[in-house]
């Protein structure tokens, strides 16, 4: 028997993926920042910042794709909640760990 996925389920899964990527980015950047302040592990700090920013970019890409899908149809409440949560995590992460300027990864 063939399993057929419906569009709302796939959008919800993509919403979960965006939220997971955003959370992973926040954790990676936080750990890199803590290591930068308290340890002498330059390689791990650099790796943590690079990984965190790659995850931020992918979370944004997946989130944007989900928003495009949600605009095309009437979304369920959980789908809206997931994308709003992912956007909030991305916004807080980007504002807490700016790529350039004061507190940036280059500091």
Note whether residue 50 is domain-resident.
yes
Confidence of residue 57 (pLDDT cuts 50, 70, 90): very high
Residue 1 lies in a domain: no
Question: Higher confidence at residue 76 or residue 23?
Answer: 23
pLDDT at 32 over 80: yes
At 58 the pLDDT is 96
User: What does the block give as tokens for 91?
Assistant: 């916004």
Dihedral, CA atoms, 52, 96, 39, 19, nearest 10 degrees? -40
Report how many domains make up the chain. Answer: 1
Is 49 among the domain residues?
yes
Note whether residue 30 is domain-resident. Answer: yes
Q: Could you list the residue range(s) of the whole structural domain that residue 85 is in?
A: 22-96
43 occurs within a structural domain: yes
Q: What pTM was estimated for this model as a whole? A: 0.80
Q: What is the pLDDT of residue 107?
A: 45
Residue at 6 is within a domain: no
Q: Report yes or no: 45 and 32 within 8 Å, Cβ to Cβ.
A: yes
């Amino acid at each position: 028997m063939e399993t057929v996925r419906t569009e709302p389920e796939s959008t919800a899964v993509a919403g979960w993926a965006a939220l997971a990527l955003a959370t992973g980015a926040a954790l990676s950047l936080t750990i890199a920042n803590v290591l930068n302040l308290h340890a002498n592990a330059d390689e791990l700090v650099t790796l943590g910042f690079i990984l965190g920013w790659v995850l931020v970019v992918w979370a944004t890409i997946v989130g944007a794709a989900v928003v495009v899908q949600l605009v095309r149809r009437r979304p369920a409440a959980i789908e809206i909640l997931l994308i709003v949560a992912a956007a909030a995590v991305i916004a807080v992460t980007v504002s807490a760990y700016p790529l350039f300027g004061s507190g940036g990864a280059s500091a």
